[in-house]
Chains A and B, each alone.
Chain A
Amino acid sequence: MTSLSRFARDAQRELILVLAILMICALFASQSEFFLTERNLTTVLRRSVDLAIIGAGMTLVIMSGGIDVSVGGILAVSAIFIGRAFEADLPAPIVVIIGVSVGTLLGLMNGAICAKAKVPPIIATLGSMYVFIAVLYLVIGGTWISGLPDTLSFLTRGDVAGIPVGVFIIAAVYGFCWILLHRQPWGRHLCAIGNDEGAARLVGIPVDRVKMQAYALLGLLAGLAAVLYVARLRNVEVNIGTNVALEAIAATILGGANIRGGVGSLIGTLLGVVFIKLMQNGLVLIGVSSLWEGVVIGGLLVVVLSIDALQSRYRYGRSL
């Protein structure tokens, strides 16, 4: 098998996503001259950073065989702490540390419930999501935290050498996660756990510890996303983080991850995020209600999942 055809086979999902992205770009560009402008694309980029970094963490968690539907809640609660920290006039670096720490702690809590109390991740994170949202309502309720200072907004609006800061953030996060996954024993352990948890235990992998670390990392990234969110919008309001979990999961699965664990692609997730964000942006620009985005994402998920499922059917001749 030539190395080109092997590349095509291994990177199949990523290539499909690139194709899909190119297709919708072509579609949107033909209907709106604003779409392919630098201004528009950089705006999309800046708005994608939150989802992108959460997507990286979500990829790792899903690859370990778990899931976390509470990330929106983690983001929200972290944002509350960040908002309050700003109101207390704490210096920017401290605020960032607080936000990230809160996120990490909440993620760790999720991990502990899943790994130690043996609660299935969907249930555990459903429950914790309720708790986080409850906290959000109780603290914010009818009144937003608003009018926050723009000390950190360079992170979301600024450029370094002409490239938006967001690009560097994404590169750093994805680079870190990629190294963790492919060049560190931890990543191999994570993969093995997602493949077969029993087997991983038999070879001596500290399964519980690795799982908790994965959830903690996702929480950390959610906290970081909260920092960026607050920096960008300078307020904390009730709807914060409502769709982020589902979109992150969708991006991860579009990117090639298997919900059962063991398989996943960081590049794919990033492409999935790009697809989702371009879709949201493009629909608005061509005058179609952005409300159609759910249908498109859902439809693409069905297509992609079906291809996957039918392929493995064909390969292994599963009967049931």
Chain B
Amino acid sequence: MKGIVKRFGGVVALDRVDFGVRPGEVMALVGDNGAGKSTLIKVLAGAYEPDGGEILLGGRPVTFKTPQDAQKHGIATIFQELALAAKMPIADNIFLGQELTRKLFGIPFLDRRTMRNRTRQLLSDLDVHVPDMNAWVENLSGGQRQGIAIARALNVDANLIVMDEPTAALAVAEVDKVLQFIDSVRSQGKGVVVISHNIQDVFEVSDRITVLRQGRQIGVRETGATTPEEIIGLITGASAVKVRTRRPNRVPSEAN
């Protein structure tokens, strides 16, 4: 993503943000509240259209008008709010927006059997256990719901998986499962973007880290080559103090 701009009314949420992920790498996206992380990935997911800038996949520019566009290009997103429909069963949620149909007398009908089987398979792949396949999503635990949201993303044949705060509301054991899942996706050669405010998780699982602050991208670091302190400094802007004094018109008389 290059130079992405997004405005809401008079507020500039994203100010010419550059952001990139390579296949087979886990890129962490960090920043304080309001930095623009969720907005950026919603642009990537096709939920928002950027007001400026472009998105490039494999070097070629693409535009997403709807989330289904993004999915067709191989981007699967798991939103922070999970975007699940509470009073609907698991299979319906996993296939929301991507329902499978089969034709009967030329009219497409929902192919519920295939969707149910696929749901069962996805859940067992992810090691998510639910008491009842027909249960409404709202009756499940936070960890199970996260699992279903992940299953929905997996259902999209994706090359890039984007996760917004995947571990925020989970218990320790469930956090582990999610981190393992991210590892396994990476080893399949796909790219992963993870938004997290948990620096520990970030350092445990990511290869590179991008920092956003107040709508601007202010740095990309190799995880192995940086420290939590430096990242936190970038997030909060402590290091900005150093940057601010180096104004061009304050360069000492050497420039003359």
Contacts and interface: CB of A to CB of B under 8 A. Distances in A.
Q: Do chains A and B touch in the complex (CB under 8 A)?
A: yes
A200 interface: yes
Interface string A202-243: 111110000000000000000000000000000000000000
Contacts of A196: 83-86
A91 B45 CA distance: 53
A116 interface: no
Nearest to A195: B85
Interface in B70-87: 71, 79, 81-87
Contact of B71 (A191, A198, A204): A204
Contacts of B110: 182-185, 188
A256 to B, nearest CB: 12
A263 interface: yes
A173 B67 CA distance: 33
Contact of B84 (A1, A199, A205, A263): A199
Contact of B83 (A184, A203, A263): A203
Interface string A237-275: 000000000000000000000100011000000000000
Contact of B109 (A183, A192, A203): A183
A203 B96 contact: yes
Contacts, number: 74
A192 B81 contact: no
Interface string B207-248: 000000000000000000000000000000000000000000
A271 B206 CA distance: 57
Contacts of B96: 188-189, 192, 200, 203, 205
A118 interface: no
Contacts of B147: none
Contact of B85 (A179, A182, A262): A262
Contacts of B81: 198-199, 202
Contact of B47 (A191, A192, A195, A201): A201
Interface residues of B, number: 28
Contacts of B33: none
Contacts of A191: 85, 87-88, 92
Contact of A200 (B68, B85, B109): B85
B10 interface: no
Chain A interface, >50% SS class: helix
A203 B149 CA distance: 11
B117 interface: no
B6 to A, nearest CB: 16
Contacts of A185: 99, 101, 108, 110
A189 B96 CA distance: 7
Contacts of B71: 204
A179 B66 CA distance: 27
Contacts of B47: 201-202, 204
B64 to A, nearest CB: 10
B192 to A, nearest CB: 19
Contacts of A202: 42, 45, 47, 67, 79, 81, 83
Interface string B84-125: 111110001001110101000000111010000000000000
B50 interface: no
Interface string B30-55: 00000000000010011100000000
B138 to A, nearest CB: 8
A184 B111 CA distance: 9
A204 B79 contact: no
Contacts of A192: 85, 88, 92, 96
A264 to B, nearest CB: 10
Interface centre among A189, A195, A206, A258 (most CB of B within 10 A): A195
A193 to B, nearest CB: 9
Contacts of A200: 85, 96
A86 B237 CA distance: 76
B67 A203 contact: yes
A269 to B, nearest CB: 17
A68 B83 CA distance: 27
B67 A204 contact: yes
A262 B112 CA distance: 19
Contacts of B86: 195-196, 262
Contacts of B66: 204, 206
Given A199-B81, A205-B96, 4 more contacts: A183-B112, A200-B85, A202-B79, A205-B97
Q: Nearest 3 A-B pairs (CB), nearest first?
A: A204-B67, A195-B85, A203-B97
11 contacts: A1-B132, A183-B109, A191-B85, A195-B88, A199-B85, A200-B85, A200-B96, A202-B42, A203-B97, A204-B47, A205-B97
